[in-house]
Amino acid sequence: MNHPRGTTYRPWNPEAYRQQAHSPGGKLPEDDLVFFLLDLVPHLDLSAIAAPYEDERRGAPPFDPAMMTCLLLYAYCVGVYSSRKIARACERNLAFLAIVGDDRPDFRTISDFRKLHLKALAQLFTQVLRLAREAGLVQLGALATDGTKVAGNASRHKAMSYGYLSKEVERLRAEIEALLQRAQDEDAAEDAVLGSRRGDELPAELQRREDRLATILAAKQRLEEQARVEAEAERQRRAAAEAERQRTGQQRRGREPKPVADTPDDKAQTNFTDPDLKIMKTNNKGWAYCGNAQVVVDDVCQIIVACEVTAASNDKEQAVPLAEAALANLAEAGIARPSDAAGQPRPLPNLTDSGYYSERAAQGLAALGLDPYMATERQRHHAAAVAAAAAPTAKEAMALKLRTAAGRALYALRKVIVEPVFGQIKGARGFRRFLLRGLEKIRGEWCLVCLTHNLLKLWRYGYAPLRN
């Protein structure tokens, strides 16, 4: 290549580089993430993943479950989620080549492995949590709970409202009836040209309409069942509220509520590609079919101690189940809660925003041995702190608790504990959409995302697993 006279460049010989053998060990840093995972995965219990292959003798030998697990964990750590992109990286990325070597799985093998072992992969969550305990990354000074909307693998254009579904049912039934009548009228004329056919085959046009009708009727049934469940929950909520008013002698405020309806609203929607998801309002003020992804995070190193995905658009009912899951995971990982001077577990602060607050949720958290700090309304900046005082209602007592100097200082930690976790997952690693469909599969996928978040924390804080 000709260069301007007098200019000197470093040698560049691409033809020689093309023929040069590249070794991951010689080219990548010693402390690279891929070597950390290659050292760590053999120390994980993968028996649940390996079990389906133990008695299989048909076909070619399967890929080593440890290799496939390491491949998926590394891919999720570095923000490569598509099975096709993972397979392509196995051909041209040194770190991926360090895992798979010359025998590279194709995208279908990777996709099938993830689907088949999704639950078993999710069970690695507590194993990684145990490693975080050994590394001193979980200290339980406080837990913070929050949620974020993650788009599902479902299109808004593949959805219908309940009112439109009802109209479609009437239209399709009328068309099917007309087609059947036309078929009966034409039977005599068709007999002469049918040849060896019986003459009673179902017309393709009729079959398509019957299939569509069955799909729409199933969608209507889903909405009606959902409406019945929600109506029953609303009746129970009203009964509990009325019992509380009778106990305290308080009068009902505002107008008498309308009777609870067991039938769906005409605007209630269901999606055909992923019926488990609901349309939700997103941060960009738009609407999309999403899963409400939840996490509980420890305060020191932002280790996730529990994760869940729900189809509910709000967080009102999530605080207690998430706290129960967090305590169960901590117990399974052998992480003891801090104790007071008498050796008794001390209440563990649990920080949540106003979306989680209800009197029942606060009582449920306290019953679990947690000390809830739950915002009851949007927090005002630079508001003056007040001294704790007796309050006539539980909601006002919680508000006063957060407005004390100690309460404000503790609650302020929430935004630096849990909110950066979503930034790291969605911004740094680019996980903004679920690839799988169905709530159970989505939960497994979110658990895989969260456990790889913890693995990244272990790697960045320099945790080195023992070598064999």
Backbone angles phi, psi at 306, to 5 degrees: -160, 150
- The answer to whether residue 425 scores a pLDDT higher than 60 is yes
- The answer to whether residue 26 scores a pLDDT higher than 70 is yes
**Cβ neighbours of 318 (radius 10 Å):** 21
**Cβ neighbours of 376 (radius 10 Å):** 19
Q: pLDDT for 174-231, tens place per residue?
A: 766 666 666 666 665 555 555 445 555 556 666 676 666 676 667 667 667 777 777 7
- The answer to whether residue 46 scores a pLDDT higher than 80 is yes
Q: Give first-to-last CA distance, the chain, whole Å.
A: 51
Q: Domain 138-154+276-460, CATH 1.10.3470 — does that match?
A: no
Q: State the average pLDDT over residues 125-145.
A: 93
Helix segments in 249-356, DSSP class H? 319-332
Are 95 and 81 contacting, i.e. CB atoms less than 8 angstroms apart? no
Say if residue 312 is exposed, middle or buried (CB neighbours under 10 Å; 0-12, 13-18, 19+).
middle
**Cβ neighbours of 202 (radius 10 Å):** 11
- pLDDT at position 467 is 44
Q: Which of 135-149, 174-188, 304-318 has the lowest mean pLDDT?
A: 174-188
Q: State the average pLDDT over residues 427-451.
A: 93
Tokens for 325, please give them.
């899951």
